[in-house]
Amino acid sequence: MSYIYYLNTESIHGWLNSILAPMADTFHISPHWTTSGAWSLGRDPLGMQATSVRMYRQLVPGLTNVTNRLRYYSFYCWVVNGWAVIRHADNLHEWRLFIRKAEALFALACEAYSPNTGGLAGSDWARLQLIDLADEKFDLRPHTNKPGENNQYLMAKGGNFGQFYVRSMQDADFLAPTTGVPIVSDTGRQLARAFEDAVGEVVIAKLINAIIDGTLEGSSLYAIGEAIHPSNLKEGTTEMDMLREFLWRSDTSSSSVARRTSAWLLLDLSRKNVPIRDTLAIRNALYQGRTGDAMPYQPGGTQIQRWRAYQANELCHISLEALLNGMAQILNEDDFAMEPDELTNKVISKAVSPSTKNQIWEKWATQATGESHDEEALSTVICEGLRRFNERSGDPALLQSAILLLRLLWQKWRTDNDLKNEISKHAVRKHCSLAGVLDTLTEHQTASVKDAISAVLRRHVIAEHLAIAGIKLSSSGKFTYRFMLEDGTISNGLIAEYGFTNPRLTNLANFLADAKLINVDGTLTEIGTKLLDETQPA
C-alpha cells in the first residue's frame, strides 16, 4: 500500500469518499478540514483528545503539564533580565548556553539543599553529580555547553525554559512576545527585582558569578539552594505577592477568571477533604457533583460546568478508543480483511447481548436497569483495559463497558445544549467530540441498538480515524493508521495504549502549595482559607 504516500490532500479526500460510499449517510469528508495545526499526533487517532486538550487549556491558562513549580516564573524572569543587563545581545546560541547554565545551577543547588525535589528540570542529573561532588569546584559547562547532545543536564537546546515555559510566561505577561532571545515585560522586570530582593545580595552575587564563569564552589550549593528553592518562597515578600497575584488575579480577563476559579475549586475541595493531588478524585468530584464521602458538591458558577463538559468528553474518548482497539483485535484474530459493516457487527456482537441488539436505542438507553454500573466504575474498567491493551483489547467485558458508558453519557447529556455547545466550540470539528457522538445517537434513537452503535462506529471511529490519519500522512509524512482501508475492506489492525488526558490539576496543586495556600499535606493554610472565603466561584 505504499502508493498512499503519493496521494495529495485532495486525492485522499476523494479516495476516502469514494471507498466509504456505503457509509455516506453518516459522514462526508471535506477538504476544508485541513486547517493548519488542527490535527493531533498519532496518540489521538480519533481527534477527541485534542478537543479535551483545548478545553483544559482554557480552564487552567498560564500553566502547562510541564510547568511544575511556581518559582520558576520569577527565577526565569531574573535570568532573562540578567541576560539583557549583562550581555544585551540578540545571539540565540549564546543565550541558550546562558539559560542552560542557570537551569543546571538551579537544579544542582536545590537538590543539594533538599534531595528529590519534585518538578525540577535536570534533577536526576543533579543527584548523580552530587554523589561525588564534596566541596571542590564544579564546572557546569561540560554539562550545558553542548545543546542537543547526550551527557547533558537536559538535551533540549533551549533548556526547560525554551521547551516548556516561554509560551506560558508570555501568556501570563511575564515575557514580551518574541521569537528569538526572550525579553521580559514590565511585569517580568518587576518580578525579576522581587526575586533578587527575596534571595538576597550575597546569593545573587554567587548566582551571577557562577552563570557567567560556568563554575562554582561545591560548598556554596547548600546556601544557594536554601535561598532559591521553589518551596522556600517567603511570606511578606513582593515575589510571593506577585506570584500569588498571578494565581489569584482579580481582574476580569477570561484567563485570570478561569485560572482563579480553577484554583478556588481546588482549595474548596481541599477544605472538603478531597485530596487535591489525586487527579481522579478531583475529576470525579467536579464531574459527579459529589465528594469522596458522597456529599453533594455544587459550588455554583460556570467554571465547574466547563470542567464537567471536559470530563464528559474524556469519558467519551476512552470509550471509543476501547472500541477502536477491539476492532483492531478482531482484525488480528481473523487475520483477513473485512468490510466495515462486518467489522462493526463483530464488535457489537461481542459487546451487546442478542436480546438487546434489536431493541430500540431510545427505549434501551433510557430505561432504569438496576445495573450497578456508573460512569466512574465503567471508566475504571475501560482505563485498566486500555493500559493492558495486549491482553484485553478484544475482551467482551471491556467492549461491553465501553458501550454502557456511551449509553450513560447519552442518557445524561443528550438534551444539555449548554454542555454540548461548550464541547463543540473546542472540537477540531463536531464529530471529534462527545457532542457529535450524542447527536449521532439522537439521530438514530428510533433505530435498533445495533444500528445506533454501528452508526457511531462508522462515523466517529472508522471515518474520523481514516480522515485524520490520511491528512496527517499528507501534511507531515507521519504514518498514524490504526487500520488500513483498501478496496472497501479494512485490515491490518494496530492496537495501542490510551488513557485520560492530563488536565494540569496536579500542576495547579503544586503552584498552590508553593504559594503557601495549601500545606504539603494538602490542607488549607490560613491565607488559603482567607482567599477562599473572600472569593466566589465564577
pLDDT tens across 399-436, in order? 999 999 999 999 999 999 999 999 999 998 778 999 99
Mean pLDDT of 102-125: 95
Query: 37 pLDDT exceeds 70?
Result: no
| Distance (Å, whole) CA 346 – CA 368 | 27
**Measuring CA to CA, which residue among 161, 172, 182, 178 is closest to residue 62?**
172
Q: Where are the alpha helices (DSSP H) in 34-87?
A: 48-59, 71-86
Query: Higher confidence at residue 133 or residue 135?
Result: 133
At 236, give phi and psi (nearest 5°): 85, 5
Query: 29 pLDDT exceeds 70?
Result: no
Least confident of 157-171, 288-302, 503-517: 288-302
Which cell numbers in the block locate residue 46? 480519533
Query: 321 pLDDT exceeds 90?
Result: yes
Under the banding of pLDDT at 50, 70 and 90, the label for residue 76 is: very high
Domain boundaries, the chain: 2-61+313-491, 71-232, 254-303+502-534
Q: What is the pLDDT of residue 293?
A: 78
Mean pLDDT of 472-497: 91
pLDDT digits (tens, 9 = 90+) for 7-21: 333 444 444 444 444
DSSP H/E element including 500: none
437 neighbors 429 (Cβ within 8 angstroms): no
Instruction: Measure the N-to-C terminal CA separation of the chain; round to a whole number of Å.
Output: 53
Q: What is the pLDDT of residue 357?
A: 95
pLDDT digits (tens, 9 = 90+) for 247-301: 998 889 999 999 999 999 999 999 999 998 888 889 889 998 888 777 889 898 9
Cell 444500528 sits at which residue?
A: 451
Q: What is the pLDDT of residue 291?
A: 87
Query: 152 pLDDT exceeds 60?
Result: yes
Which cell numbers in the block locate residue 398? 471491556
DSSP H/E element including 515: none
Under the banding of pLDDT at 50, 70 and 90, the label for residue 108 is: very high
Instruction: Classify residue 162 by its DSSP letter.
Output: I
DSSP collapsed to 3 states, 313-375: HHHHHHHHHHHHHHHHHHHHHHCCCECHHHHHHHHHHHHCCHHHHCCEHHHHHHCCCCCCCCH
| Distance (Å, whole) CA 169 – CA 149 | 26
Mean pLDDT of 181-197: 97
Residues in Cβ contact with 257 at an 8 Å cutoff, skipping those fewer than 6 apart? 303, 538
pLDDT above 90: percentage of residues in the chain = 74
Sign of CA dihedral 178, 181, 185, 186: negative
Cell 503544586 sits at which residue?
A: 510
Query: 394 pLDDT exceeds 60?
Result: yes
Query: 242 pLDDT exceeds 90?
Result: yes
Q: What is the pLDDT of residue 283?
A: 87
pLDDT above 70: percentage of residues in the chain = 91
Mean pLDDT of 194-202: 98
Q: What is the pLDDT of residue 40?
A: 42
pLDDT digits (tens, 9 = 90+) for 87-101: 888 999 999 999 999
Q: What is the pLDDT of residue 364?
A: 96
Q: What is the pLDDT of residue 315?
A: 97
- What 3-state DSSP class applies to 57? helix
Query: 30 pLDDT exceeds 50?
Result: no
Q: What is the pLDDT of residue 371?
A: 52
Cα–Cα distances (Å) from 428 to 34, 37, 103, 274, 517, in that order, read 10, 10, 36, 33, 37
483 neighbors 327 (Cβ within 8 angstroms): yes
282 burial (CB, 10 Å; 0-12 / 13-18 / 19+) is: buried
Query: 175 pLDDT exceeds 90?
Result: yes
Mean pLDDT of the chain: 89
| Distance (Å, whole) CA 347 – CA 331 | 10
Maximum C-alpha span of the chain: 78
Query: 439 pLDDT exceeds 50?
Result: yes
Q: What is the pLDDT of residue 368?
A: 67
DSSP output for 164-205: IIHHHHHHTTSB---SSS--B-HHHHHHHHHHHHHH-HHHHH
| Distance (Å, whole) CA 347 – CA 328 | 10
pTM of this structure: 0.87
